[in-house]
Chains A and B, each alone.
Chain A
């Protein structure tokens, strides 16, 4: 497995080093609860890849099929039982009688299907995953492989999920957080791995009472799963929510700002699972519990808070924390058990089902990067370069020039609009993306027109 190092590309300079091995977590003063407990948090972020194609998609058109064969009789419903029933994008089962929110339909640009032992071709999803991996300063592996993870659930049409558990596309990596991101001290969160996987469908519990509806449009879309090491420490204020100072939240927001994720937990475009444990300072880490089904950043914070409190309570009463998977009940403000370690499903992995080989042919990684990373996220780094090669930390530059951080999306958008309006001659094309407070101003503007961006 070889790592890819990126050297200077034109005007965009990225860090050349990649993270290998353990790096000491910051030496900042720790905030402790009750004077002795420290909460340790690790994240697993599932970010939907913003591509037009699904991860593995076929070439047939479904519109006519659904029109002809979707009948009331389930038994006569056309189904896909082919060997490459990769996803069933449009077929709406009788139980799903409502019009689901239509996510982006797959327009197959390249055919990439699963197979045994062979390589799949590159696709947008893979490109974007590689971009993200590089931006995380991770090692990108030229050869990675996909596995099948089996479990039965209504929104998993194939009965298995194609994911990269054992040989992911990239390992290592770093998320560097500063005060600008909302943490109280600079923090480096190490990334364990970044992997590509298939998304499942969406279960809708609330639309029709007593019936669960399954929307399969989302099934098969590419997801990036970013698994971090437990490098985050939570500051929990008893009875309150230390939201702003929550490193976990900050890390999530940082990832949210990626150009490559659609951001916005509420839409399920990004989902987080959190691993929380508590321990006393200078003792080994405690048993961790996984929190699942957290659909917004706010819930994330609250759930971590609740779980930390629960674990501290258990430990202070002399009990032991069991390794469990828990969910968060918003109303009660407590976590509850979903399943214990004993009832955890055996995923019956089929490993290394097929390999993903990158860069078959003469394509060069730097070409791809320069093509796509024109106005990439790395705001702070880009900023430095844009100000004529000034490599001081972003914070300094901001202070010196008297800029201020634009925190409000609306304000930022207004600023951008003003700017564009005033410079019509220079701007040929401008695209605004607004989602969950993220604005990409002038992301596609001409390179001659530069605007420093500070995004929060």
Chain B
């Protein structure tokens, strides 16, 4: 029987008072309610509301309560942000469409805007992954969410309601409200997990340089690629939140040390026009990398890219075509490296100390309980990546895959160093940049298409789906992955909608490592469309 639950989210005043009232009255619940952690990038199954979910995927941390705040959450709470809840995401941050989740996939809130409710199941679009829940929440303004029936996939946007006796909590990114009235969300960007959903949902997605925000409290997927990212409605909001959370943290050794931070901020002063006007970009050099004109790019995206170039050129910027020849290898290198590190980081989930443990394992053989437990506990995408990662680390393939991918990664980094005006502040041997052709920022699309249809993301037996195999989804990351490999900051700004289906498209800006100021400055101009 279908049940209709309507969850109302009142306006900010009410939220603020609700929170304080809840904190007072809820005693020991406070920890749960406050949804403390960025840690949980993994799926919980919802305890009381989704009993009918047949598949119990990844129950390792089903009832996991973190004993501590992630640093970024801690910083936000110190700044008196109201942490509202957690949102849905791809399990462990692995996925490009937020379809691999215990709670079901996240729908693009622009479906709602069509005026047809959620629309028929065949027309629903994904919100992007892996931080799709956060993007959907920010994009939809958290007005309300409807859940159609028990077993259908639903949007879980906002989870706080006085009607519930137990808070619903679905994990991952954190929604928060900072005074005054900023709405934003945190996500984790390993290969574009924040920027892709931002493009699909039409909001701003910002990934700072690697090391700017502390990763303490972030469940590791790939140590060298993970970054805490932000989703917000406007660039200004993103900047405000970024200023709060980008502090050095002793507990994260990859967090940018203070002396390097000073050095970086000194030599990358950021671009500012002479007039100081937001609309004036005289002196700014924008690079258009040729290799990003991939064949998979939808024509609507290309058109919007050109519009973006024109928009910036009209404001005085110089457009420079650049070439980064190693970009075409970046996607493969990323999946090799990320999967390898993931297989290492996820090795700790063996069901022995906590979490799900398989009932059918026999303990005679050392390895048996591991295999059953992990097979049952991990979702399909996670299993795929762990197996891939394990394979590339085996003795026979290490040299051919992992080591090669590391070398490709270095080449991709050097590509970026060649085109940017400012030298990379953390490389020991900065490469000489040709100042006549160096650029401040790069402008590319954020995705190769608008939000794909849900059914196209799941390969199906009959021919209704466009996806032939799960790896097809990986190509969606091709625009965002190089910036992750190089660790440079990148931001996605909504720049319009596709004339064909009306779904939003975002443009991506990338700047040299540590140069967030320039990036945010240019993004602010770009979003004024």
Q: What residues of chain A have their CB less than 8 Å away from a CB belonging to chain B?
A: 58-60, 65, 69, 74-79, 81-85, 88, 91, 93, 95, 111-118, 120, 148, 150, 152-154, 157-160, 214, 216, 346, 348-350, 354
Contacts and interface: CB of A to CB of B under 8 A. Distances in A.
B354 A117 contact: no
B394 A346 contact: yes
Given A116-B254, A159-B350, A74 B357 contact: yes
A77 B223 contact: no
B293 interface: no
Given A83-B220, A152-B367, A115 B254 contact: yes
B382 to A, nearest CB: 14
B348 interface: yes
B214 to A, nearest CB: 10
Nearest to A64: B67
A78 B390 contact: no
A348 B339 CA distance: 13
Interface of B: 39-40, 42, 59-68, 215-220, 223-224, 226, 250-254, 340-341, 343-350, 352-357, 366-367, 370, 390, 393-395, 398, 402
30 contacts: A58-B251, A69-B67, A75-B59, A75-B62, A75-B63, A75-B354, A77-B354, A78-B65, A81-B219, A82-B216, A82-B219, A83-B217, A83-B218, A93-B352, A93-B353, A111-B253, A113-B253, A114-B253, A115-B223, A115-B253, A115-B254, A116-B224, A117-B254, A118-B254, A152-B347, A152-B366, A157-B353, A158-B347, A159-B346, A349-B398
A76 B224 contact: no
- Going nearest first, the 4 A-B pairs with the smallest beta carbon separation are A159-B347, A79-B354, A83-B220, A348-B393
A152 B370 contact: yes
A157 B223 contact: no
A346 B395 contact: yes
A416 to B, nearest CB: 43
A58 B252 CA distance: 10
Contacts of A350: 340-341, 344, 393, 402
A59 B352 contact: no
Given A349-B393, A349-B398, A160 B253 contact: no
Given A158-B348, A214-B353, A348-B343, 12 more contacts: A58-B251, A69-B65, A75-B354, A82-B216, A113-B251, A113-B253, A115-B253, A117-B224, A118-B253, A159-B347, A160-B347, A350-B340
Contacts of B40: 81
Contacts of B343: 150, 348
A59 B395 CA distance: 35
A173 to B, nearest CB: 28
From B253, B254, B350, B402, residue with most partner A Cβ within 10 Å = B253
Contacts of B215: 83
A337 B341 CA distance: 33
A444 B199 CA distance: 67
A160 B343 CA distance: 10
Contacts of A75: 59, 62-63, 354-356
Nearest to A154: B352
B517 to A, nearest CB: 24
A93 B254 contact: no
Contacts of B349: 81, 159
Contact of A348 (B223, B224, B250, B390): B390
Contact of B354 (A58, A84, A93, A346): A93
A160 B254 CA distance: 20
B355 A82 contact: no
B28 to A, nearest CB: 9
Nearest to A59: B251
Contacts of A65: 67
Given A83-B220, A152-B350, A346-B395, A60 B67 contact: yes
A157 B217 CA distance: 18
B253 A157 contact: no
A95 B357 CA distance: 13
Contacts of B393: 150, 348-350
B254 A214 contact: no
Contacts of A159: 344, 346-350
A59 B60 CA distance: 24
A216 B66 CA distance: 20
A69 B223 CA distance: 28
A153 B353 CA distance: 12
From B67, B393, B402, residue with most partner A Cβ within 10 Å = B67
Contacts of A59: 251
Contact of A157 (B224, B341, B348): B348
Given A84-B251, A120-B253, A152-B367, A214 B352 contact: yes
B27 to A, nearest CB: 13
A84 B232 CA distance: 28
A148 B220 CA distance: 15
Contacts of B39: 81-82
Contacts of B346: 159
B394 A79 contact: no
A112 to B, nearest CB: 8
Contact of B216 (A84, A88, A118, A153): A84
Contacts of B390: 348
Contacts of A118: 253-254
Contacts of B219: 81-83
Given A60-B68, A117-B224, A348-B390, A74 B354 contact: yes
Contact of B353 (A60, A91, A112, A113): A91
A160 B223 CA distance: 14
A75 B62 CA distance: 7
Contacts of A150: 343-344, 347, 393
Contacts of B352: 93, 95, 154, 214
B110 to A, nearest CB: 33
B72 to A, nearest CB: 13
From A111, A118, A350, residue with most partner B Cβ within 10 Å = A350
Contact of B344 (A88, A91, A117, A160): A160
Contact of A111 (B250, B356, B370): B250
A412 B189 CA distance: 63
A153 B63 contact: no
Contacts of B216: 82-84
A77 B357 CA distance: 13
Given A150-B344, A150-B347, A81 B64 contact: yes
A76 B63 CA distance: 5
A58 B216 CA distance: 10
From B251, B252, B367, residue with most partner A Cβ within 10 Å = B251
Given A75-B355, A348-B394, A82 B217 contact: yes
Contacts of A114: 253
Nearest to B70: A82
Contacts of A117: 224, 254
B152 to A, nearest CB: 26
From B251, B343, B352, B402, residue with most partner A Cβ within 10 Å = B352
A154 B369 CA distance: 10
From B215, B345, B366, residue with most partner A Cβ within 10 Å = B345
A216 to B, nearest CB: 8
Contact of B223 (A81, A83, A216): A83
A79 B355 contact: yes
Contact of A79 (B64, B218, B347, B395): B64
A442 B40 CA distance: 53
Contacts of A93: 352-354
A82 B357 CA distance: 20
A70 to B, nearest CB: 11
From B40, B343, B353, residue with most partner A Cβ within 10 Å = B353
A117 B39 CA distance: 22
A152 B252 CA distance: 26
A82 B352 CA distance: 17
From A83, A112, A159, A346, residue with most partner B Cβ within 10 Å = A83
A160 B220 CA distance: 14
Contacts of B63: 75-76
B248 to A, nearest CB: 12
